[in-house]
Structure 1
Amino acid sequence: MSYLPLILPLLFIVALALMLKHFLVSLAWAGLLAVITWPLHEALLRRGWTRAASASALLGGLILLFAGPSLFVLNALSGELAAVERFIGRQNTAGIPVPGWISQLPVIGGHAVEWWSKHLEVPGSLAALIRSTVGGMVPQLSAAASAVGSTLLANALYMFLALLTLFILYLHGNAVRHYVDSAGMRLLPAHYPVLARLFPLSVRGTALGLCSVAVLEGVVLGVAYYLAGAPFPALLGVITGYMALIPGGAPLSFTLVSLLLLGKGQATAALGLFCWGAFELFLVDKFVRPKLIGSRVELPFLAVLFGLLGGVSTLGVLGLFIGPFMMAVLFWWLRNLPSTPVLKRSGSEQDKADDHREAA
Structure 2
Amino acid sequence: MEKDNNEAAINRAVNTALRISFIALLIILSFWILKPFLAPVAWGIIFAIGIFPLHKKLSKLLGNKDKVSATIIGILGVALVVVPVVLFANSTIDGVHDAYEAVEAGTFKIDPPNESVADWPIIGKKAYEAWSLASENLTALILKYESQLRGVVPKITSAVGGLVSTVLLFIISIVIASSLLLFAEPGKAAANKVFATLIGEKGKEFTELSMLTIRSVVQGVIGIAVIQTFFLSIGMFFMGIPAAGIISIIVLIVAIIQLPPTLVMLPVIIYAFSMGGTTAAIIFAIWSIFWSLADTFLKPMLLGKGVDVPMLVILLGAIGGMLLSGPVGLFVGAVVLALTYKIFDSLVKE
Cα distance in 2 for partners of 1:173, 1:34 equals 9
Deviations 1:260-298 (A, max 9, x none): 3687799xx9999999978975x55656436633x4234
Cα distance in 2 for partners of 1:97, 1:165 equals 49
Query: Tell me, what secondary structure is at the counterpart of 1:196?
Result: helix
Structure 1 match to 2:82? 67
Query: Tell me, what secondary structure is at the counterpart of 1:205?
Result: helix
Identity %: 19
Structure 1 match to 2:193? 182
Residue type of the alignment partner of 1:329: I
Cα distance in 2 for partners of 1:186, 1:30 equals 24
Deviations 1:217-266 (A, max 9, x none): 6547976999xxx7639948956764554223613312332553687799
Structure 2 match to 1:256? 267
Structure 2 match to 1:347? none
Q: Counterparts in 2 of 1:49-128, with a 5 A limit?
A: 50-74=65-89, 77=92, 96=112, 99=115, 102=118, 119-120=133-134, 122=136, 125-128=137-140
Cα distance in 2 for partners of 1:9, 1:198 equals 33
Whether 1:232 aligns to 2:241 is: yes
Gap regions ≥5 residues in structure 1: 338-360
Q: Is 1:254–1:277's contact at 8 Å kept on the other side of the alignment? A: yes
Residue type of the alignment partner of 2:312: F
Whether 1:141 aligns to 2:160 is: no
How many aligned positions are there? Answer: 321
Worse-matched range after superposition: 312-321 or 272-281: 272-281
Structure 1 match to 2:311? 305
Q: 1:51 to 1:276 in 2, by over 3 A?
A: closer
Following superposition, the deviation at residue 177 of structure 1 comes to: 3.2
Residue type of the alignment partner of 1:328: K
Structure 1 match to 2:141? 129
Q: Is 2:269–2:284's contact at 8 Å kept on the other side of the alignment? A: yes
Residue type of the alignment partner of 1:204: R
Q: 1:45 to 1:82 in 2, by over 3 A?
A: same
Cα distance in 2 for partners of 1:105, 1:167 equals 47
Structure 2 match to 1:289? 299
Q: Counterparts in 2 of 1:208-219, with a 5 A limit?
A: 208-209=219-220, 210-216=222-228, 219=231
Residue type of the alignment partner of 2:199: L
Following superposition, the deviation at residue 196 of structure 1 comes to: 0.8
Structure 2 match to 1:341? none
Worse-matched range after superposition: 19-28 or 79-88: 79-88
Q: 1:134 to 1:246 in 2, by over 3 A?
A: farther
| TM-score normalised by the chain length of structure 2 | 0.64
Residue type of the alignment partner of 1:305: M
Worse-matched range after superposition: 314-323 or 22-31: 314-323
Q: 1:52 to 1:204 in 2, by over 3 A?
A: same
Query: Tell me, what secondary structure is at the counterpart of 1:22?
Result: helix
Q: Is 2:50–2:214's contact at 8 Å kept on the other side of the alignment? A: yes
Q: Is 1:73–1:235's contact at 8 Å kept on the other side of the alignment? A: yes
Cα distance in 2 for partners of 1:19, 1:97 equals 56
Following superposition, the deviation at residue 184 of structure 1 comes to: 2.3
Q: 1:308 to 1:270 in 2, by over 3 A?
A: farther
Q: Is 1:34–1:170's contact at 8 Å kept on the other side of the alignment? A: yes
| TM-score normalised by the chain length of structure 1 | 0.62
Larger Rg: 1
Q: Is 2:116–2:274's contact at 8 Å kept on the other side of the alignment? A: no
Cα distance in 1 for partners of 2:253, 2:41 equals 24
Cα distance in 2 for partners of 1:323, 1:142 equals 33
Q: 1:32 to 1:238 in 2, by over 3 A?
A: same
Q: Is 2:229–2:248's contact at 8 Å kept on the other side of the alignment? A: no
Query: Tell me, what secondary structure is at the counterpart of 1:23?
Result: helix
Query: Tell me, what secondary structure is at the counterpart of 2:112?
Result: coil
Structure 1 vs Structure 2 CA RMSD: 5.3
Residue type of the alignment partner of 1:289: K
Following superposition, the deviation at residue 17 of structure 1 comes to: 2.9
Following superposition, the deviation at residue 185 of structure 1 comes to: 1.2
Following superposition, the deviation at residue 305 of structure 1 comes to: 1.3
Following superposition, the deviation at residue 63 of structure 1 comes to: 0.9
Structure 2 match to 1:349? none
Q: Is 2:55–2:69's contact at 8 Å kept on the other side of the alignment? A: yes
Structure 2 match to 1:201? 212
Deviations 1:296-346 (A, max 9, x none): 2342xxx43112201111222212322333333344446x35xxxxxxxxx
Worse-matched range after superposition: 322-331 or 200-209: 322-331
Cα distance in 1 for partners of 2:180, 2:191 equals 13
